[in-house]
Structure 1
């Protein structure tokens, strides 16, 4: 009975498939954190750029924001 337990414990110790899955899980989590941080940091800039493109595509004039963090205005 005890020898069967030792044999299965030895086999489980050599089996590394679970460790690989954990490593991939950690890597995916870190990539997700980096993506969330990048989107949060660049969100305002991207929004401002798309607003400017939308304004220009509709034939209007884009006036940039006068304060940092503010939004520009689109006027005819």
Structure 2
């Protein structure tokens, strides 16, 4: 009985299905940390892009 339980524990430990989810969580966490570190620079880039889009759309509409 103990050997059957131990075999199931070993099988569960070697199972790699959850590994993909762990990798995804780690990647998302790394992206969030990078975004927090560079949030001022990222907000400036986004603001500049939105300003350019606004100018281009105004130019397009006025023509």
When the two structures are superposed, what TM-score results if normalisation uses the length of structure 1?
Answer: 0.47
Task: Answer 1 or 2: which has greater helix percent.
Answer: 2
Q: Which of 1 and 2 has greater Rg?
A: 1
Deviations 1:7-66 (A, max 9, x none): 10121122011233212210111012223433322424654x43xx66xx6xxxxxxxxx
- Hey, what's the Cα distance between the residues in 2 that align with 1:45 and 1:19? 35
When the two structures are superposed, what TM-score results if normalisation uses the length of structure 2?
Answer: 0.54
Q: Which runs of 4+ in 1 moved over 6 A?
A: none
**What is the RMSD of the two structures over their aligned residues, measured on CA atoms?**
2.9
List gaps (5 residues or longer) in structure 1: 58-76
- Hey, what's the Cα distance between the residues in 1 that align with 2:13 and 2:38? 39
**Matched length:** 54
Task: Answer 1 or 2: which has greater strand percent.
Answer: 1
